[in-house]
């Protein structure tokens, strides 16, 4: 699928995790992302990340932590001794549900960007960045490859140790896995730096681009300390203007192959954009529809048909693949 369509889709998938704290909507969005992930793995994309195992771990940690530290709510599950620091007191069902909701939001972010990183190459991500932001786009594309590369290296090191008859069972055995991972990461960073230096990267950087980034950072700091003033936003606007000017005057970037959109890409982009619009409208005009506060007693979360439809719209890439597979005569 086109990279721009994927970018709109991942924005639509990550936005509920940022704006939404309703567990019902988060679960629907997670299921939709899971279906897209399953279709992606069956569509000649063998790369996979243990994001579901990681998500369950995050939910367990957030639920337990909030249950032990937030002693609010009417439904008491158990009571710990009061002399225990921080965790002593009541453990309520409401605190567990609130921690579970936060864990679902984090899990949705992990799942959405896992699908995006598996479906789009770093070069495609870099091609989306305008010329004024190509340096930032390169940094983002390199950062997105670090986690999958680290997982692959850790898996290879574990398999190599298993072939030698060694298995890590205790915490003090972790350095055996950590040292190859660290050395491989440093070697990969050195290779990237050497390849960038060989291609002359950064030698033609304009002074306007540097001034623009300084303006953006300075404006952010000004706005952080003087929030009631608009001086920070003015400085940020001047910095962005400098970046735009430097991008227009920069040397053109050569691309060997340009992506072309199709009707299915337009469909996925349109459906995802509608999902984004529904979330933003609900956040602006009816914030209570996106929030869920289980205190003082747990109740069923409110549901709205437009928001449920917005979460189900995340299934658009899966519907696209299913139609392609049927056209090829493959059972799905």
Tell me what pLDDT residue 320 has.
62
Residues 289, 152: Cα–Cα separation, whole Å:
41
Tell me what pLDDT residue 39 has.
80
Residues 265, 230: Cα–Cα separation, whole Å:
40
**Long-range CB contact pairs, 132-140, < 8 A, 24+:** 132/209, 132/212, 132/243, 132/244, 132/246, 132/247, 132/248, 132/250, 133/243, 133/247, 134/247, 134/250, 134/253, 135/202, 135/205, 135/209
Tell me what pLDDT residue 105 has.
93
Residues 113, 35: Cα–Cα separation, whole Å:
14
Q: Where are the domains of the chain?
A: 3-204+263-327, 209-250
Beta bridge partners of 80: 89
Residues 331, 320: Cα–Cα separation, whole Å:
14
Residues 187, 144: Cα–Cα separation, whole Å:
17
The per-residue pLDDT string of the chain (332 residues; one tens digit each, 9 = 90 and over) reads 888 899 999 999 999 998 888 999 999 999 999 889 888 765 444 444 456 777 888 899 999 999 898 888 888 888 888 888 888 889 999 999 999 999 999 999 988 988 887 888 777 777 776 666 666 667 777 776 676 677 777 778 778 877 877 776 666 666 777 777 788 878 877 887 788 778 776 655 556 667 777 888 888 888 777 767 778 788 888 887 877 776 665 555 665 566 777 888 889 999 999 999 999 999 888 888 888 888 888 888 888 999 999 999 999 998 765 544 444 333 33
Give CA torsion, residues 159, 164, 166, 172, to 10 deg.
-80
Beta bridge partners of 296: none
- Which residues in the chain belong to E strands, given as ranges? 76-80, 89-92
Tell me what pLDDT residue 103 has.
92
For residue 30, CA distances in Å to 26, 47, 104, 105 come to 6, 19, 8, 9
Residue 259 per-residue DSSP state? -
């Amino acid at each position: 699928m086109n990279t721009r369509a994927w970018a709109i889709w991942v924005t639509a998938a990550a936005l509920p995790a940022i704006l939404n704290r309703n567990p019902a909507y988060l679960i629907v969005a997670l299921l939709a992302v899971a279906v897209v992930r399953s279709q992606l793995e069956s569509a000649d994309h063998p790369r996979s990340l243990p994001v579901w195992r990681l998500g369950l771990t995050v939910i367990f940690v957030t639920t337990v932590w909030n249950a032990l530290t937030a002693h609010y709510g009417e439904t008491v599950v158990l009571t710990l001794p009061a002399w225990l620091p921080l965790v002593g007191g009541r453990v309520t069902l409401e605190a567990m549900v609130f921690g579970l909701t936060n864990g679902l939001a984090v899990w949705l972010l992990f799942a959405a960007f896992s699908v995006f990183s598996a479906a789009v190459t770093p070069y495609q991500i870099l091609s989306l960045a305008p010329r004024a932001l190509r340096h930032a786009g390169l940094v983002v594309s390199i950062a997105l490859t670090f986690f999958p590369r680290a997982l692959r290296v850790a898996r290879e090191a574990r398999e190599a140790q298993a072939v030698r008859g060694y298995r890590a069972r205790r915490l003090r055995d972790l350095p055996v896995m950590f040292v190859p991972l660290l050395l491989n990461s440093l070697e990969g960073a050195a290779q990237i730096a050497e390849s960038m230096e060989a291609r002359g990267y950064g030698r033609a950087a304009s002074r306007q681009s540097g001034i623009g980034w300084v303006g953006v950072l300075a404006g952010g700091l000004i706005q952080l300390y003087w929030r009631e003033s608009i001086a920070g936003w003015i400085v940020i606007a001047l910095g962005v203007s400098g970046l735009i000017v430097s991008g227009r005057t920069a040397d053109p970037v050569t691309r060997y192959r340009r992506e072309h959109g199709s009707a299915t890409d337009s469909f996925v982009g349109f459906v995802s954009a509608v999902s984004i619009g529904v979330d933003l409208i609900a956040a602006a005009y009816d914030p209570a529809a996106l929030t869920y506060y289980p205190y003082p007693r747990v109740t069923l979360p409110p549901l709205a048909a437009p928001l449920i439809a917005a979460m189900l719209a995340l299934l658009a890439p899966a519907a696209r693949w299913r139609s392609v597979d049927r056209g090829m005569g493959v059972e799905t």
